[in-house]
Structure 1
Amino acid sequence: RQEGRITRYHILSMNAYERHKKMVNDYLMYYGGRKTEFQRDSSRDKRDIDVVREHHQFLWDEEEEDEANEEKRLAKKYHDKLFKEYCIADLSRYKENKIAMRWRIEKELVAGKGQFTCGNKKCEETESLKTWEVNFGYLEHGVKKNALVKLRLCPECSIKLNYKNKRKEVTKKKRK
């Protein structure tokens, strides 16, 4: 009886990982076998960023939120943390009429990128910015979608945005 109590107190004084190791070792000593049989298969493990990239959507539908699984909920939660008033654009391929857009992240929001500085990815201009409303058409998971997004661009980048077709400039309404 004394030994049983010592063992019980000894086991209770261990942390969860040490207790687990002791129980596995006791099991292997009693029933036989190898430790490799107890190692988990990590070949299908995913990091959170992998899940977000796999299930990313530029705009989420309200209907999809209800029927979402755990992975989609994680991607939606990441999407909700983005700052979606203004976009950041990559105008490096503007002559091909290929303009990439994405929402701003917190670091860009704090720095004022896309609102107080030019929304072009590679431009840092802060003077005479214009706001443009752009119909952004994109392909997402094989489905064609459209979104109306705002961009703040300097005059030089505005010319690149309107290279082949004129976009709508957002202006404040004048009061009478």
Structure 2
Amino acid sequence: MSEGELRFDLRREAQDDGGYDSTNEEDEYSKASKKARYDLTSKGKRDPRRKAKGSKEVLRVEASLEEGRKQRQDIITLTAFDRHKQLVNTYQLYYKGATDTLQRDTSRDKRDADVIKEHHRFLWKEGDGEDSWEVQLARRYYDKLFKEYCIIDLSRYKENKFGMRWRLEKEVVLGKGQFVCGNKKCDEVKKLRTWEVNFAYVEHGDKKNALVKCRLCFECSYKLNYHHKKKEVTRKKKRRKEKKPKKGKKRRDSSSSCSSSEEERKTEEEKAAKKAAEEKDAADIWSKPVQREEEKSREDVFNEYLEDLFL
């Protein structure tokens, strides 16, 4: 074999291997192994006990303890009222439906109007109204009513059933039941007639009677007397008395003039004394001690409440 044939041709070798020469290059496997060995030498040793992770139960307990510490710190900084509101709101938020036990029992709640309706009577006696505050309130309401004429309900007159009640202050001012027809749904003011009715009613399980008066128009009077006629109340005509001439008229005239002058003098003196007393009171008003208001009794409170109720 000649010397030229033994010579190594690098260009041909490169063409046979696809154009790359791998004599001075490394493959991927050798690079990865070198890198792994370098990592092992560069990293320090680690203790698996120091960085060990706990279970989910341990994590949940630690989180709850930390949250409890935060909430306690927040609650301590609040006032008593704000703390109460926060606890109640938290309870309602996380325990839905459990707040039914916190609600107050409203089955026995009553307004003042309900108390008056329950203990109301059409007629009261002298000794009634001393039992309890409910009875006293109903009695005070009864004392505020006007009991000369009645307001009547004639909606069921064909069944011979009537409803009656006493008048309020507002109705007295408007003339309802006296100058206006006493029927609940009638406002007629002409041809009014006064009737006396024996009103029979049932009150708290007892049958009672009361003789009352009502003023009605012509049509309402017909409804009232639909079954049997009631007693009509009329005014008695007064006879005029003839005046006889009296003697000694001149003497009376002179005595009356003297008495009138004396009365005028007395009235002037009274006015002057009254004016002087008012001036004295006005001068002494700043020297007097301050008068304290006395506490109102239960009767005064009832009277004020009923006065506001009738307005």
TM superposition score normalised by structure 1:
0.74
**Residue identity matched to 1:89:** I
Q: Deviations over 1:30-89 (max 9, x none)?
A: xxxxxx9998655433211111011011111223234x2111000111111111111111
- What SS does the corresponding residue of 1:88 show, helix, strand or coil? strand
Q: Compute the displacement of 1:165 (Å).
A: 0.7
Is the radius of gyration larger for structure 1 or structure 2?
2
1:74 paired residue number: 137
2:124 paired residue number: 60
Deviates more, 1:44-53 or 1:138-147: 44-53
Q: Which has the higher contact order (CA 8 A, sep 6+)?
A: 1
For the residues of structure 2 that align with 1:43 and 1:121, how far apart are their CA atoms? Answer: 33
Does the C-alpha gap of structure 1 residues 114 and 43 become closer, same or farther in structure 2, counting only changes over 3 Å? same
Does the C-alpha gap of structure 1 residues 97 and 43 become closer, same or farther in structure 2, counting only changes over 3 Å? closer
Which of 104, 107, 118 is residue 167 of structure 2 equivalent to? 104
Q: Deviations over 1:81-137 (max 9, x none)?
A: 111111111111111101111111222112111111100111111011011111101
For the residues of structure 1 that align with 2:182 and 2:195, how far apart are their CA atoms? Answer: 10
Which of 139, 145, 160 is residue 202 of structure 2 equivalent to? 139
1:172 paired residue number: 235
Residue 214 (structure 2) pairs with residue 151 (structure 1): yes
Residue 192 (structure 2) pairs with residue 119 (structure 1): no
**Residue identity matched to 1:49:** A
Deviates more, 1:163-172 or 1:36-45: 36-45
Which of 224, 242, 247 is residue 161 of structure 1 equivalent to? 224
**Residue identity matched to 1:63:** G
Which of 110, 113, 119 is residue 49 of structure 1 equivalent to? 113
**Residue identity matched to 2:191:** S
- Any gaps of 5 or more consecutive residues in structure 2? 1-79, 85-98, 240-311
For the residues of structure 1 that align with 2:102 and 2:158, how far apart are their CA atoms? Answer: 58
For the residues of structure 1 that align with 2:183 and 2:234, how far apart are their CA atoms? Answer: 20
For the residues of structure 2 that align with 1:39 and 1:87, how far apart are their CA atoms? Answer: 45
Structure (1 or 2) with the greater helix fraction: 2
- What SS does the corresponding residue of 1:74 show, helix, strand or coil? helix
Aligned length, in residue pairs: 146
For the residues of structure 1 that align with 2:207 and 2:125, how far apart are their CA atoms? Answer: 14
**Residue identity matched to 2:155:** S
For the residues of structure 1 that align with 2:102 and 2:222, how far apart are their CA atoms? Answer: 63
For the residues of structure 2 that align with 1:46 and 1:87, how far apart are their CA atoms? Answer: 28
**Residue identity matched to 1:146:** N
For the residues of structure 2 that align with 1:44 and 1:154, how far apart are their CA atoms? Answer: 44
Superposition RMSD in Å? 2.3
Runs of 4+ in 1 over 4 A off after TM superposition: 36-43
- Any gaps of 5 or more consecutive residues in structure 1? 1-20, 26-35
- What SS does the corresponding residue of 2:155 show, helix, strand or coil? strand
Structure (1 or 2) with the greater strand fraction: 1
